[in-house]
Structure 1
Amino acid sequence: MIKKTLGLGVCAILATLSSAAFAEGKIVISNWDGYMPKELLENFTKETGIAAEMTVHATNEEIMGKVVASGGKGYDVLFVSGQFGEALHKLGLAADLDHGNIPNLANLYPEAMKLSHDEGLKYSVPYAWGTTGLCYRSDVVTTAPSSWNDLLKPSDAVKGKTTMLATDRWLMMPALLALGYSINTVKEDEIAAAKAQLIETKKTLLTYDDTTFYQKLVSGEASMVEAWDGWCNYGIAENAQIKYVIPKEGSDMWVDTMVVTSASENKAAAEAFINYVLKPDVHRWVAENILYKVPNKAAMDALDPKLIEQYPNLGLSPSELLKFEQLRDLGEGQKLWSKTVTEITSAN
């Protein structure tokens, strides 16, 4: 196990701030449930003296709504996907970071500094990253899928036994990639073409599902699903016949990030929390227990090779990952996307 304490920059800051200030300024973190070690906050407080509490959000959209409504007040650190962090920064709700307070950034892969939504990590720090692909039962699907069209235009053998992700960016993505379009397009003709295909595809689906799709694979209710790589790993953990593949047309590159709110009155403490998460032994827990790749080289280097043998997508290198287009904030184009997805999901 690799151990690393807080860097000198953070130690100096903590020494200059009174414990009373921290006691009065407990930081509040909002994260997805189960997305970090249960004991993390307790251990963070023991090591730094900074009190912290966590609230949970189910979706990016949920926490965005709360933060926009409150101006970020009541929150210090948010876990959000990269495109939502980008939107928060454009709205002035995500603070610029002082890298001097986060020396454990040095543990990240060099590629982590090149993320298109925030090159140089000016306001966000990546927590996990990965791909979206096809997760399937290799004992049921006799020919391994290789294209998004295997999901969009399924064979008779799997019709009615496929699922797609319900969140708009990932619901639209397979059709856009199959058509050769950018996953960030806001061109009306391209969106219309994807919509037409997805309305046809809907007729072949078991359901749209963001949360239980891997369980449907395990039970046999589904044979092939659109899945985030880490969630497919949950299925693989229960049934070794479940496999994951990135279609030949490619994937998105999604990034879940940590941002500090502009409204935070405890910015140094919030940055100390991010620094703590980037400790190799802490960040390694994410890869070992959530089964997602993390952008922390020191953490990934410490993984047991047997884990990557069992879950091959954990072995995707940062350079391979960065070949895929990263999801970006769509700005005003999000209205077109939301309208289109509503029309798809409500179509007969």
Structure 2
Amino acid sequence: MRILLILAAALGLAWAQGTLNLYTWTDYIDPSIVRDFEKETGLKVRITYYESNEEMQAKLQAGGVSQFDLVVPSDFIVPVLIKLNLLQPLDKSKLPNLKNLDPKFTNPPYDPGNRYTAGYLWGTVGLMYRTDVFQTPPASWSVLFDPRAQKGAFTFMDSPREMLGIGLRYLGFSVNSTDPAQVKKVIDAMLTAKRSRNFKGFQGGVSATKLLLANQAVAVVVYNQDALRVAEGNPRYGFTIPKEGSTLFIDSMAIPARAPNPEAAHRFINFILDARIGARLAEYQQSATPNAAAKKLLKPALLKNPAIWPSETQMRVLEFILDQGRNNRILDEAWTQVKSR
């Protein structure tokens, strides 16, 4: 019996060593990149998907920290994952392609010195809309929050910090405000929008775009990547950042603290950071890349797309979401009120 157990353990270890368990956002990687990685390394990639940072965090805390080899968290959730001991430091000796990152992304405030993370893609959150309903891009978030400005069915993003941040910007506040009076105004504004017959619920980026394409909504809050990839070349749909502003995000690659195959995770991170692979990833996702070497290889049309690379004017009203430490509970409680009432 003991021999059988030893053999089973050995077989399990061998299986784990030949597999990379990737936990990432829905439709967030070109399948051909995965196939090329498998061909080059001999490793098998198993992918599990999530649609919010909070979902990913909950899964890691529920045992996923020892089930997945690689996750792709957004900037603001990284300090939380580190504090909860859910991530392990990167072994940079195994990541020679880290040199390809733009210097702006090599010492991010959420992870000084890239101790735990390496940049994947970056982008914005905005409004995807039907051009047959909006002849010109919606200028204000009022098309969601003000019943008088609504032109049909709409959805909110099912992600606390992004959606609360948009509400705060609409009201003229910072996306990172935890001032109780300002947060109360956001709660009231979102509840007013929820009471509208046009409100069609909280949706992840992929599910929201599907509602729009099925003519079940006229405007949805999504990541620019989802909007651009789904509606590429289709004049019936547009994407815009309303004048009040919105949130910026950087998604990064990180290794869970008890990953079964950290060696495979490092190989995958280094593979993605290759200039050619990084360019393919950005073009597939219709996304901005933190990889300076990859950016040099991008097609001119992508580099000139304002929905991917915000203008200087837009950058002035875009903010990164920051971890608020103990004050996170203020925003958590606000989100609970918005969702439950």
TM bucket (normalised to shorter chain) is 0.7 to 0.9
Give the direction of change, closer, same or farther, for the CA distance of 1:196–1:180 in structure 2 (3 Å limit).
same
> For residues 97 and 311 of structure 2, what CA distance do their matches in structure 1 show?
20
Alignment counterpart, residue 179 of structure 1, candidates 171, 182, 194: 171
Q: What is the letter of the counterpart of residue 36 of structure 1? A: I
Q: What is the letter of the counterpart of residue 97 of structure 2? A: N
How high is the sequence identity, in percent, across the aligned residues?
Answer: 28
Give the direction of change, closer, same or farther, for the CA distance of 1:318–1:30 in structure 2 (3 Å limit).
farther
Query: 2:84 maps to what in 1?
Result: 91
The Cα offsets for residues 28-83 of structure 1, whole Å up to 9 and x where unpaired, read as 3222343223244443344345x343231323333322322337213221122222
Alignment counterpart, residue 121 of structure 2, candidates 110, 120, 128: 128
TM-score by length of 2: 0.83
Equivalent residues in 2 for 1:1-348, closer than 5 Å:
25-26=17-18, 27-48=20-41, 51-59=43-51, 60-70=53-63, 72-156=65-149, 158-204=150-196, 205-208=198-201, 209-210=203-204, 211-237=206-232, 239-264=234-259, 266-308=261-303, 311-316=305-310, 324-347=318-341
Does structure 2 conserve the Cα–Cα contact (< 8 Å) formed by 1:206 and 1:222?
no
State the Cα distance separating 1:135 from its structure 2 match: 2.0
Q: What is the letter of the counterpart of residue 185 of structure 1? A: S
Does structure 1 conserve the Cα–Cα contact (< 8 Å) formed by 2:38 and 2:45?
no
Does structure 2 conserve the Cα–Cα contact (< 8 Å) formed by 1:111 and 1:318?
no
What's the C-alpha RMSD, in Å, of the aligned pairs?
A: 2.9
Give the direction of change, closer, same or farther, for the CA distance of 1:135–1:268 in structure 2 (3 Å limit).
same
Q: What is the letter of the counterpart of residue 336 of structure 2? A: T
TM-score by length of 1: 0.81
The Cα offsets for residues 126-176 of structure 1, whole Å up to 9 and x where unpaired, read as 2111111122233322453222234322545x3442222122222212221
Does structure 2 conserve the Cα–Cα contact (< 8 Å) formed by 1:217 and 1:235?
no
State the Cα distance separating 1:121 from its structure 2 match: 1.4
Q: What is the letter of the counterpart of residue 62 of structure 2? A: A
The Cα offsets for residues 240-282 of structure 1, whole Å up to 9 and x where unpaired, read as 1422222222221112211012223643442222011111222
Does structure 1 conserve the Cα–Cα contact (< 8 Å) formed by 2:275 and 2:294?
yes
Give the direction of change, closer, same or farther, for the CA distance of 1:234–1:25 in structure 2 (3 Å limit).
closer
Does structure 2 conserve the Cα–Cα contact (< 8 Å) formed by 1:214 and 1:232?
yes
Does structure 1 conserve the Cα–Cα contact (< 8 Å) formed by 2:16 and 2:260?
no
Does structure 2 conserve the Cα–Cα contact (< 8 Å) formed by 1:31 and 1:54?
no
The runs of 5 or more residues in structure 1 that have no matched partner are 1-20
State the Cα distance separating 1:320 from its structure 2 match: 7.3
State the Cα distance separating 1:194 from its structure 2 match: 0.7
Give the direction of change, closer, same or farther, for the CA distance of 1:40–1:304 in structure 2 (3 Å limit).
closer
Q: What is the letter of the counterpart of residue 137 of structure 1? A: R
Q: What is the letter of the counterpart of residue 262 of structure 1? A: A
Does structure 2 conserve the Cα–Cα contact (< 8 Å) formed by 1:30 and 1:56?
yes
> For residues 318 and 89 of structure 2, what CA distance do their matches in structure 1 show?
26
Does structure 2 conserve the Cα–Cα contact (< 8 Å) formed by 1:168 and 1:338?
yes
